[in-house]
Structure formats: C-alpha cells, structure tokens
Structure 1
Amino acid sequence: MSFRDRTHAGRELALRLVEWADSGDLIDLLVLALPSGGVPVAAEVARALHAPLDVLVAREISTPISPETAIGAIVADDPPLYDRQSLAMMHLSEDRLGDVVASERNELHRREYVYRGRRPTPSVHGRTVVLVDDGLTTGLTVTAALRFLRRHGPDRLVLAVPVGSPRTTAALRPECDDLVCLVQPPSLHAVGEWYEDFGQVSDTEVADTLHPFHATA
C-alpha cells in the first residue's frame, strides 16, 4: 500500500481507527496531530471519529555538522530527549547544543501561537488521546511527544500512523497503550517514499485545517 497524499493516508488510517474505536470504551476522545505533516492525516481521523482535533508541537534537534540528522527532540518546555548513541558518535555534549535547543524552542512556541492563537492547550488528563503523524522513521520526535503526554495523565494513549519502520514501531509500543500502523515496509529510509505527493505543509494550511475543529479542553 502507498498513499496519494496525506489526506488519502488519513482516510485509510481513519478506517482502521473506526474499527478500533468500536471495539473499546473510549473516554472523552481527543486527536492530536504532530505538525506540520501530521495535521492533514489527523484531520481525516478526527472527522471519522467525531473527535476534536488539536496539535502537539514538537521540534527535532540537529547540528550544523549534520543538519539532516536528528539527534534529539523537544516538546513544550520539557527537557530535550536525545539519542545518546548519536551524541557519542558525534562527540557532542548537551551543553554544546544549548544554542540549538534555544532556537528550536523559540520556533516551537512561534508555531504554537500560529496554530492555536490564544486558545489554551487542551487537557489530556483522563482522556483517550490519539496522537497522529504522517509516518515513523527514527521515532525520536514521537517518543518525546508520547512521554510528554503520558506525564499528563491520559486514560489511554494511542499512536496512529499510516507508515512506519518495523524497528521503530516495535520500539514505540511500550510508550503507548495502543499502536496502529497500516504499513511497515522492511526497509524504510524516508516516509515520503510511501507518498506520491509529500509536499511541505505550510503554517497557513495547518491553521486553516485546525480552524473548523475548535478543539477545547
């Protein structure tokens, strides 16, 4: 299975999640998207589940030496989550990445304001939370997001993606209560390989997609 675009992927994922939702007692369902790519996917899921939609903004941390390689991730004001093996291989310490983290944190808060404005972050305490992204490769950002959400006390924490690396998917299962992944190709180098159209999703597109949902706490 491959996907025409993120909307198509979201519809296919929604079909699986409707079956999943029918099999359990879900409390106060909330769908959260990892922007920007996860938002068009999550919108289809939220519509199918008749659930509110909001975003959980996360940012990857990389280095000027290897900007295409993620070595960590941040969510909200939580401390960074690092890939310790990558840090050791690059002979880096957390202290040396302080400026990079500060810059990414500023960008994270800028995006939160663009996407949500002055609306409060929805509470996840006691709720069934479905976290949606457009795919999984290293899983660093998703791991940071799941751990952030877990600390805020959801009743049930679910990760849902259209495509993911089998190794990463297996590693993430202990981080959530349920995991739904439609396709797990044996060799996944980049999520975009499984989409015919994998263009950038702009801030404006994210804000416009979120607007009708008005997710609230």
Structure 2
Amino acid sequence: MSNRFHPAPGQRNNRYLLMRHGHSQANARHLIISTPARGLTSFGLSEQGEAQLEALLAEWRWPAPTRILHSDFLRTTETARRVAARFGLALQPEPRLRERDFGDFEGLADSLYPDVWAHDARDPEHREYGVESVTSVAARMQGVVASLEQALRDETILLVSHGDPLQIMLTALEGRLLSEHRLREPLLPASITMLD
C-alpha cells in the first residue's frame, strides 16, 4: 500500500470544519485513553476544556454548522454537545471519528506517544505495540468525508474528533506522505480547522 493517501479529485459538495475536542481529563492526567472500553464512558472534558469551549462559542468565527458528526468517545461527545446546543443541532455519533487505538500503551503515560510517532515516520503501515496503523486511520477518517460527499450537498459539517486522527486526515487530504503527519503543527484542544 502506498504511503500517500489520494483524496478524491474536484470540488467538495460540502464545507467541513474539523474540530479537536476540548482539553480532557486524560490530557490533564497525561494519560493515553484510546479504546472504547475507557473512552466511551470516562475521561470527559476537564474544567479547562469546558472553559475553552465557552470562549470558543462566545467568539465563533467560522460558518455556522448545519450538521455535527462526532467520535462517540465521552470527550468528543461532550464537545459536540456544547456546539450543538449553541446552534440548535442534533448530534450524530460516528465511530469512524474515534481516537487512534494506541494498543499496548492504552492507559499509560502520554510521554509514550513519541515512540509510536517515530515508527509512523518510518512506516505508516506499522502496528508496533499493537497500535492502529496510520494508513488505517487515514482510510476510516477519509471514508467519513467520502460518505458525506455522496449523501449530502451544500451543508456545513462539523466533524469532532481527536488529535492524531485529525492530523492524519489533514495530511491525507493535502496529498502529503502519511509518514509526515507529525510534521504538521499539532492541533490544539478545542481548535477548529476549516477545509479549503
């Protein structure tokens, strides 16, 4: 499989806002929480994350979303719920937007992320430590956009996800080598990136 992920050619039918969840309890405790067993029901937003969202919504400067899809992890659901309430929208859970599975590092210190990223830079298909490969993350994230492009037109869609999956998705959409996803400037908690 190629190290590149080729986006569909041509203009998109919809506008997309990519949002990383607000600062979470996992961020505060410096833990890797990447599996549904922990992520679906625990480790929601921290107080800092709640404050980030309050500030973001008070100074919203992007097009108003008409739909919101989100990872079904607690921290992304809570983030999406705050935005949905602001715009009077329903939530749509989308499991393909989940966190990257960090395998053996689940529940351990987030200081272990660079060990995975070093392998990513050499081989985006690697599954060292039982992690989900970069190519797999790119495929499922890109699949969300592809399915929305087939089903909808002229919508502004907010996708609420996690740091690594969004970095990988943006790298794929740019047509860059997937092994270079960590060369992008890291997405901050509660940040929004608008697709061109």
Q: TM-score, normalised by structure 2?
A: 0.40
Q: Which has the higher helix share?
A: 2
Whose relative contact order is higher, 1 or 2, with alpha carbons under 8 Å and at least 6 apart?
Answer: 2
Q: Which has the higher strand share?
A: 1
Q: TM-score, normalised by structure 1?
A: 0.37
